[in-house]
Amino acid sequence: MFEIRKAEKTDADQVAEIYNYYIKNTHHTFETEELSEEMAAARIVAVNKRYPFLVADDNGEIAGYAYAVRFKLREAYEHSAEVSIYVRNDSKQRGVGTQLYEKLFEELEDTHVHAIIAGIALPNDMSIKFHEKLGFQKVAHFREVGYKLGRWIDVGYWEKMNY
């Protein structure tokens, strides 16, 4: 069992380490430059001002993290949030993601967020199954909108209503 808690600036080194694995080795994020500890700390602070940024703490080791951000900047999107989740590669299939998202959704229930959106770089069957297991439904598919690792990448969007 992991302790799911609010991320702190002191978690930034491990958050960056987890995310940098995905930057360097996968198409799951469209960022291409590694994240520094300082950049990760700034993101944690910025997100926590308005939305939850949570970590799964496994006796001092961050096994994964999840957070929400505003979906788009236009005012009418105010009640929509995009969620992201990253799990340490050696912590997958241990329930980390499910615990993080369940706590994130619980915290979002106490906010103004009505629609929760997850973008998934495709293909990614594991992420699709994970999101659909938690109640997300596919609502959009954009073809070849990203280019990383020498190839074009599609992105799908899944949505879950926050009732």
Q: Find the CATH number of the domain harbouring 29.
A: 3.40.630.30
- Mean pLDDT calculated for residue range 132-146: 98
Task: Give percent of the chain with pLDDT exceeding 90.
Answer: 93
Query: For position 143, what pLDDT does the model report?
Result: 98
Domain hosting 108: range is 3-161
Beta-carbon count within 10 A of 159 CB: 17
pLDDT confidence band for 9 (50 / 70 / 90): very high
Query: For position 94, what pLDDT does the model report?
Result: 81
- Mean pLDDT calculated for residue range 93-115: 93
Q: Give yes or no for residue 37 having a pLDDT over 90.
A: yes
CB 30, CB 148: distance < 8 Å: yes
Query: For position 141, what pLDDT does the model report?
Result: 98
- Among the residues of the chain, which ranges form H helices? 12-25, 37-48, 96-108, 125-133
Q: Give yes or no for residue 1 having a pLDDT over 90.
A: no
Query: For position 38, what pLDDT does the model report?
Result: 98
Closest CA to 11 of 31, 35, 40, 39: 40
Please state the domain count of the chain.
1
Average pLDDT along the chain:
95
Beta-carbon count within 10 A of 74 CB: 8
Higher pLDDT, 31 or 1: 31
